[in-house]
Structure 1
Amino acid sequence: MEFFVKSGSSDKQKAGCLILGIFDSRKLSPQAQLVDELTDGYLSGILRSGDMEGKLGQTLLLHSIPNSNCDRILLVGCGKEREFNVANYQKVSKKIIKILHETGTTDALNCLTMLNVKGQDLYWKIRFAIEAANDALYSFDQLKSKKSETRKPLRKVTYLIDSRADLPQSELAINHAEAISKGQSFTKDLANLPGNICHPSYLAEQATKLAEDYAAMSVDVLDESELKEMGAGAFVSVSQGSAQPGKMIAMEYMGGEKDAKPLVFVGKGITFDTGGISLKPGAGMDEMKYDMGGAASVFGLMKSIAEMDLPINVIGFVAAAENMPASNASRPGDIVTTLSGQTVEILNTDAEGRLVLCDALTYIEKYDPEIVIDIATLTGAVIIALGHHATGLMSNNNPLAHEIENASDMTQDRVWRLPIWDDYHSQLKSNFADFSNLGGRPAGSITAGCFLAKFTKKYRWAHLDIAGTAWRSGAQKGATGRPVPLLSQIVLNRVSKAS
């Protein structure tokens, strides 16, 4: 689908479908008022008849409107005018795209970007609308023998703006939204693929394809045998139980100055997690293909920044492995030596994400990073703490944590900071190794973060636990593509600050 902007007045437009906002208690938005006057009160008459109240999410599709150059008009309920915020704006943006896509409209003119959305300027209104549209229309049917096809799909959406002077920021919003949406869709595709297709070698192939598509990107892949030889014992303890060899994948995007320190994003890439010898319950285990959601989001981020051609250096680093219960898999009680030289007692083989990540977090020291952010579906405990709305954030650096929280507020890709105080580290105590990989049930997400913190003392680091936000279960089962918008905004903010 293509997106455009144009300046003008809502009553002078020609389109397949004109989208107008109606507020609670049948109040016409300013754009709807202009069209109402053009149509001799047709819209207000429809509302008075009781067809629509303007409550949030209500829609009414009108045909054959008198004196109008538009084939159809879609009235959209926006709720109470004073309460029309980003969340409500995104909700109606997704709904109208689905309706238009399913009703034969091929081109639409959207006037909702001219409404007042609490705290948002035109750039954000256009960007949010496009990202919401692409998210709403995403589907994963590449493995189905019969694809679902829409007879007359929506192909073009134009956003109406007040003035030609607003065109530059509007077009920038379109470029950013389309790039981030491509990255988010890439993340969803990778995460939705089953483990028999999307394994560590497949991820390495996808990284190589990215490097072929974008001149500023190169790829380096470390095989399991190389990792074993260099002493990455924690990583190998997870990957050795699978017939699929584990890999560490470095995607290096060098769009900035040659000597500028890179931003490093590290993704947990457990392409399928059985739990290993500490086997998970069978019910719902199919969703453990999503245990590479952190890695998938790093791939999506790298695609997004390459699409935007950003002048910055970024390393996307993925620790990819399968966690399987084979005869050579790690056992509870095994002790391994990490790449950092620290030893870990493996009390539970299902706490494997931190084992692959700790060696990755040590390896990336070679890049002398400006900052490091790891992204991982690390603990079920974070869902108990935060549900499925917010990603858990932990950090050893307050300015970096605040930077992430700021980007979260900007994108509505929510995070909530949890502490990693020294008090929690005692839960990782081991009688036989430097520490264990399990801190018990209390504060499970925090002790997992504390474990990772032991390997990040040489740089500014933050950890994002996305176990509650990377995918949905139930009837809408599928990857969400989070936190690609958040990660992309962190990079965009860095570029903006440097310019």
Structure 2
Amino acid sequence: MFFYIKNIREEDCACDVLILPFIEGNTEYYSHLNSSIQKLIMKIFSKEFNGKHRELFLTHAPDNIKPERILFVGLGKKDDISAEKIRQAGGDSLTFLRDKAIKNLALSTNLIYFLKQKPTDFIEGALLGLYTFKKYVKEKEDKSLTAITIISKDKKELRDDLKWVKAVSSSVNFSRDLINTPANDMTPKHLSLIALSLKNKKTSVKILDKKDVQKLGMGAYLAVVRGSNEPPKFIVIKYKGSQKQPIVLIGKSITFDSGGLSIKSAEGMEKMKYDMAGGAAVLGVLKAVSLLKIPVHLIGILPATENLPDGSATKPGDVVKTINGKTIEIINTDAEGRLTLADAIGYAKRYNPRYIIDIATLTGACSIALGNEAIAMMGNDKSLMNKIKKSGERTYERVWEMPIFDEYKEYIKSDIADLKNSGGKSGSLVSSAFFLSEFAGKTPWVHLDIAGTAWQEKDKPCIPRGATGVGVRLILDLLKELK
């Protein structure tokens, strides 16, 4: 899709559809337009459109202007309009027009600027909402949009913002592709090849195989590996955009999770290809960081494997030793993500990181507690968590802080080892984070549980059904602040 910035009048912009955003019940912001457009606005407002949030109305344009049609887009009440409402308007508008095989659009920005919002939020919502995953569909309809003209003065800030949202949206959709790909085509090996494709002058990639991690003593990670015939790949990606201490991102990367011997029920198991959504988010962040040349020292770690049952699979009751020497009694083989993350966090500490942030589809309890609307956040660094909260508010990838009280240590106390990997259903969202905190130690660390937000069953304005790519925009906004 091509983007143009043109400082012209709306009526002079040749396009298939001119998009006019509106506040609910208010037409006064278009008094500068051609009189025939103003008459059309008054006619539509009196009968068929009122500017309510997510309201759309498409009509033919007057004959004496260059746009062929006009799309009226409702933003809602003036006091409720936010960057996210603008994004949602972008997602709704462009998916609506795409499905009508429209090719060439123009966006009027006067009202958006008046509301002290950014037109690039509209573009970001559009790029996120237009995502489709049709890799396995034989007959593909070509309904792609070809061009969007932003009617505005050509400002450096606008061009910079447009570059940012294009790179970020592309990286979110890249992550969505990885998560939506079925597990037979997204094995640990495939994931490692994707990581290798990100190599460039500033980005290096190292893949540790089974023998390598055995030498390092990653017994917890290897315990998950044992049931699968697919070789594990412990993926380490380094982006050196700065000489500062690195920020380490760790993404849970279980490319398919059956639960192991503590096997899940058959209902919904096909969705467990999404259990590498954390790893996909980390890859998406690294892709965007490289595209945008963000001055940050970043290391991504993906402990990739499948979690399957077979004759050599880890059994409930087994005890394993981690990279830092701690022992874990495995109570539940379906609590496998924390085992892989424990060794990944232990490995990350060798880099003397400024921060460690892990992102994982870790617990079903997260979905029960927060539904599909928020990421659960826990950690040992209040300042970092506050920064992540602010990034969540800006990106609408909202986080909700949960406690990790010292008393939760009792939940994961083992009679025969240093820790056990599950304390049962009670408090499982927070006890799983406390388990990880035992490996983070004093290193500034935050855990993001995306189990409830990484997959959507229904279409949303900027999030088509399926993989959401959550975490990419959140972390990129954070890195922009931390650089």
TM-score (norm 2): 0.95
1:193 aligns with 2:181: yes
Equivalent position of 2:40 in the other structure: 42
**Runs of 4+ off more than 6 Å:** none
**Shift in Å at residue 470 of structure 1?**
0.6
1:55 aligns with 2:52: yes
Equivalent residue letter for 1:215 = K
Report which stretch shifted further, 276-285 or 52-61: 52-61
Equivalent position of 1:231 in the other structure: 217
Matches of 1:444 and 1:147, distance apart in 2: 43
1:327 aligns with 2:326: no
Equivalent position of 2:156 in the other structure: 168
Matches of 1:73 and 1:7, distance apart in 2: 19
Q: Is the 8 A contact 1:110 1:157 kept in 2?
A: yes
Q: Is the 8 A contact 1:267 1:294 kept in 2?
A: yes
Equivalent residue letter for 2:137 = K
Equivalent residue letter for 1:136 = G
Equivalent position of 2:405 in the other structure: 421
**Shift in Å at residue 14 of structure 1?**
3.6
Matches of 1:5 and 1:415, distance apart in 2: 34
**Shift in Å at residue 40 of structure 1?**
6.0
Q: Is the 8 A contact 1:14 1:69 kept in 2?
A: yes
Equivalent position of 2:139 in the other structure: 146
Q: Structure 2: which 5+ runs fail to align?
A: none
| Candidates 122, 126, 134, aligned match of 2:127 | 134
**Shift in Å at residue 11 of structure 1?**
4.6
Q: Is the 8 A contact 1:374 1:464 kept in 2?
A: yes
**Shift in Å at residue 154 of structure 1?**
1.7
Q: Is the 8 A contact 1:36 1:43 kept in 2?
A: no
Q: Could you say what secondary structure the match of 1:321 adopts?
A: strand
Matches of 1:77 and 1:298, distance apart in 2: 35
| Candidates 184, 187, 193, aligned match of 1:205 | 193
1:249 aligns with 2:235: yes
Matches of 1:130 and 1:266, distance apart in 2: 30
Q: Per-residue CA shift, 1:451-478, capped at 9, x if unaligned?
A: 0000001411000000001111368641
How many residues were matched structurally? 479
| Candidates 362, 367, 391, aligned match of 2:351 | 367
Indicate the percent of aligned positions where both proteins have the same amino acid: 34
Report which stretch shifted further, 313-322 or 11-20: 11-20
Q: Could you say what secondary structure the match of 1:392 adopts?
A: strand
Matches of 2:433 and 2:28, distance apart in 1: 48
Q: Per-residue CA shift, 1:47-106, capped at 9, x if unaligned?
A: 22x122222222221214143221111111222222222332222211110122222332
**Shift in Å at residue 216 of structure 1?**
1.2
Equivalent residue letter for 1:114 = L
Matches of 1:92 and 1:180, distance apart in 2: 18
Q: Could you say what secondary structure the match of 2:76 adopts?
A: coil
Equivalent position of 2:439 in the other structure: 455
Q: Is the 8 A contact 1:264 1:373 kept in 2?
A: yes
1:105 aligns with 2:102: yes
Cα RMSD over matched residues?
A: 1.8
| Candidates 151, 156, 171, aligned match of 2:147 | 156
Change in Cα spacing, 1:437 to 1:145, as seen in structure 2 (3 Å) is same
Matches of 1:417 and 1:432, distance apart in 2: 32
Equivalent residue letter for 2:27 = L
1:278 aligns with 2:262: yes
Matches of 2:400 and 2:38, distance apart in 1: 51
Q: Is the 8 A contact 2:10 2:108 kept in 1?
A: yes
Report which stretch shifted further, 281-290 or 311-320: 311-320
Equivalent residue letter for 1:10 = E
Q: Could you say what secondary structure the match of 1:210 adopts?
A: coil
Q: Is the 8 A contact 2:331 2:420 kept in 1?
A: yes
Q: Is the 8 A contact 1:126 1:173 kept in 2?
A: no
Equivalent residue letter for 2:242 = G
1:83 aligns with 2:80: yes
Change in Cα spacing, 1:127 to 1:24, as seen in structure 2 (3 Å) is closer
**Shift in Å at residue 113 of structure 1?**
6.5
Matches of 2:389 and 2:78, distance apart in 1: 27
The structure, 1 or 2, with the larger RCO (C-alpha pairs under 8 Å, 6+ apart) is 2
Q: Structure 1: which 5+ runs fail to align?
A: none
**Shift in Å at residue 442 of structure 1?**
1.6
Q: Is the 8 A contact 2:411 2:431 kept in 1?
A: yes
Matches of 1:149 and 1:354, distance apart in 2: 43
Q: Per-residue CA shift, 1:298-328, capped at 9, x if unaligned?
A: 0111101111011221111101010010111
**Shift in Å at residue 170 of structure 1?**
0.5
Q: Is the 8 A contact 2:37 2:61 kept in 1?
A: no
Change in Cα spacing, 1:477 to 1:82, as seen in structure 2 (3 Å) is closer
